[in-house]
Structure 1
Amino acid sequence: MPIRNAVMHFIDKKPDGSPAVLHKAQATLAPSEATDNLLFDLNDAYNAKQGKAWGFFHDESGAYPFSGWLRSFVDGKTDFVEFTRESVEHLTKLMEESNLTTGGHVLFAHYQQGMTDYLAIALLQHSDSVSVSAELEVKPSRHLDLSQLNLAARINLSEWRNNPVSKQYVSFIKGKGGRKISDYFRDFIGCQEGVDGPGETRTLLKAFSDYVEREDLPEDLAREKTHTLVEYTAAQTKLGEPVALKELSELLDEERPQNFAEFVQGADYGLSSEIPADKRTINQFRRFTGRAEGLSISFEAHLLGNKIEFDQDAGTLMIKGVPTQLVDQIKRSVKD
């Protein structure tokens, strides 16, 4: 993960309502193992966050100037330090206007992962602790606390440059404190939501369930493919990468690598070739399947306790919201 540029500014804003004081860096951070480790840990913390959104920039304007400053840097008209200084001044202004958050260290990191360029921006908080010196003395210390990462965004610069119609090259943390807490940071980036991550993930899982049903797979093979799906999507979310439909299809069926992708495209689920998978939705997905004496039952785990109730003592399942097609078949059978 080569770091091309990294800058750390500091916004000193206390919760007592006093004006924020901005301390701007004069130069990029010197290359070091500590900087590499910080970016590595930041990416891990960011990828693990649930409740992220994906989107794209608003048109550049006075209200949303960030994309213009970024474009100037990407085009080589502005250096990285100047780009971040303009940006952090704007962030400080929005922070003052919102009066909903304290300050912190603002990290801008331009780095490469594989063949892709990224820009990560994060407002980092610190925690007080103690350390032991070489002389065995206990001393107070402060460290950046990534467990408090609530305001951060990541921009896929390669996607932004090369795919102007994309609506998912920016991702950002929505935040736990409600929309107002994160709205000013989203407005600072100047982006709007373009892809419903949880909704896209649910559609992908629905397509997979339909695919398994159409293929009429044996129970053990259906379970194996479900495991492959969950493992792959979990790995992609851990890396902060989208689920590639083509790659998933190849993993699901090595003999017919395009079978699942062609099924999805042919059935017109409306999924794009890359899907920003939602970790929470994936974690809820697992299929229960069973066959015995002409009876075949298969359902997703998240339906248990909702549409499907299990009586352990009686060994029975109660199904609510039976599919209309099945109901019609049963009614016709009873009439006959």
Structure 2
Amino acid sequence: MPVLHSAIHKIDKKPDGLPAVLFLGGAEQVESQARDDLMSQLNESYNTTAGKGWGFFHAESGAYPLRGWLAKYLAGGSDFLDFSITAVEHLTRLMEESNLTTGGHALFCHYQQGLTDYLIIALVQETEAVTMTEELHLMTVKRLDLDHIRLAARINLSEWKNNPQSRQYISYLKGKQGRKVSEYFRDFIGAQEGVDGPGETRTLLKAFSDFVESEDLGEESAREKTNTLVSYAMAQAKFGEPLTLDELSEVLDDAQPKAFANFIRDKDYGLSASLLPDKKTLNKFRRFTGRIDGLSISFEQHLLGSKVEFDEAGGTLTLRSLPTQLTDQLKRAAA
């Protein structure tokens, strides 16, 4: 993950209504192992934080100016530090107007991953940690709390440049602080929601369940393909990368690499050629489970509607194709 440019500024704002105070970094962060480790941890923490939205830039305007500043920087019209200063000054003004959040350290990082350029912007809080001196004395120090990032966004600069029609080159944390807080930061970035990640993931999983049923796969084969789909989609979600239907189809069955992709297109599920998988939705797909009064039930979701039917009104499950071992026990008990 080569870091091309990075800068850190600090916004001191307390939840007491007093004006925010901005402390600007006087230079970019110099190249060092500490800098690279910090930015790598920031990126990893962002990747693993659940609850992201995906979108694209609003048209440039006075309300959404960051797009223009970023384009100017990428075109060589300003350096990275100037871009970050202009952006963080705008963030500070929005923070004061909204009065929705406390300050923090504003981290800006332009980096590469493979052949792709990214810009990540995050507002990171400080936390205390305990360290040991050479004399074996305990000492409390402050550190950036990268484990609990609440406001952040990442822009796929290469996708923005090469595919201007894309609606998913910006990702941002929706967070747990409430909709207004995440929307204020999204407005700072100038992003509008373009992709419903959970919705598209649910459609993909429904298409997969239909595909498994149409292929009349055995239970072991169906379970294996389910695990393959979830593992592949989870890996893409972890790195913030889109899942492509063609590649997923190949992963599911290298003997018939186009079977699943063709099934989706033929049935017209309305899915894009690539989508951004949602980890929470994927986790729910693994199994349905429940336990009450000595009764334990567990089954994979793709069996719902085929081997398992749910009567919502009656609150009952109907099971088909019971395991031979279970039916033998039931027969002996009934005899």
CA contact (8 A) 2:234 2:282 kept: yes
Once residues 237 and 230 of structure 2 are traced to their aligned partners in structure 1, the CA distance between those partners, rounded to angstroms, is 11
CA contact (8 A) 1:284 1:302 kept: no
Give the superposition deviation at 1:83: 0.6
Matched, 1:189 2:218: no
Instruction: Please give the secondary structure, in 1, of the residue aligned with 2:285.
Output: coil
Distance 1:173 1:307, change over 3 A: farther
Tell me which residue corresponds to 1:89: 89
Matched, 1:248 2:244: no
Instruction: Please give the secondary structure, in 1, of the residue aligned with 2:185.
Output: helix
Provide TM-score, normalisation by structure 1.
0.86
Give the superposition deviation at 1:218: 1.3
Give the superposition deviation at 1:317: 5.8
Equivalent residue pairs, number: 305
Tell me which residue corresponds to 1:300: 301
Tell me which residue corresponds to 1:318: 317
Instruction: Please give the secondary structure, in 1, of the residue aligned with 2:107.
Output: strand
Instruction: Please give the secondary structure, in 2, of the residue aligned with 1:62.
Output: coil
Give the superposition deviation at 1:268: 1.2
Structure 2: gaps of 5 or more residues: 289-298, 320-335
Aligned pairs (5 A) from 1:23-38: 23-38=23-38
Tell me which residue corresponds to 1:146: 146
Give the superposition deviation at 1:302: 11
CA contact (8 A) 1:285 1:302 kept: no
Amino acid at match of 1:60: E
Give the superposition deviation at 1:51: 1.4
CA contact (8 A) 2:209 2:302 kept: no
Aligned pairs (5 A) from 1:119-134: 119-134=119-134
Once residues 319 and 83 of structure 1 are traced to their aligned partners in structure 2, the CA distance between those partners, rounded to angstroms, is 61
Identity across aligned pairs (percent)? Answer: 58
Once residues 222 and 175 of structure 2 are traced to their aligned partners in structure 1, the CA distance between those partners, rounded to angstroms, is 36
Distance 1:255 1:112, change over 3 A: same
Distance 1:150 1:307, change over 3 A: farther
Instruction: Please give the secondary structure, in 2, of the residue aligned with 1:76.
Output: coil
CA contact (8 A) 1:237 1:279 kept: yes
Matched, 1:116 2:116: yes
Give the superposition deviation at 1:129: 2.5
Report Cα offsets for 1:169-208 as digits up to 9, x if no partner.
0000011121111111111001110000000000110111
Once residues 319 and 90 of structure 1 are traced to their aligned partners in structure 2, the CA distance between those partners, rounded to angstroms, is 59
Tell me which residue corresponds to 2:41: 41
Task: Select between 68-77 and 266-275 the one with higher mean Cα deviation.
Answer: 266-275
Tell me which residue corresponds to 1:333: none
Instruction: Please give the secondary structure, in 2, of the residue aligned with 1:284.
Output: helix
Structure 1: gaps of 5 or more residues: 289-297, 310-315, 321-336
Aligned pairs (5 A) from 1:145-164: 145-164=145-164
Aligned pairs (5 A) from 1:1-336: 1-286=1-286, 300=301, 308=310, 318=317
Tell me which residue corresponds to 2:331: none
Once residues 303 and 164 of structure 2 are traced to their aligned partners in structure 1, the CA distance between those partners, rounded to angstroms, is 37
Amino acid at match of 1:163: N
Once residues 219 and 2 of structure 2 are traced to their aligned partners in structure 1, the CA distance between those partners, rounded to angstroms, is 45
Instruction: Please give the secondary structure, in 2, of the residue aligned with 1:227.
Output: helix
Give the superposition deviation at 1:143: 0.7
Distance 1:319 1:100, change over 3 A: farther
Report Cα offsets for 1:268-293 as digits up to 9, x if no partner.
111112111000000011368xxxxx
Instruction: Please give the secondary structure, in 1, of the residue aligned with 2:217.
Output: coil
Give the superposition deviation at 1:75: 1.1
Report Cα offsets for 1:228-266 as digits up to 9, x if no partner.
001101111111111121111110110111111111112
Amino acid at match of 1:318: L
Provide TM-score, normalisation by structure 2.
0.86
Instruction: Please give the secondary structure, in 2, of the residue aligned with 1:285.
Output: helix
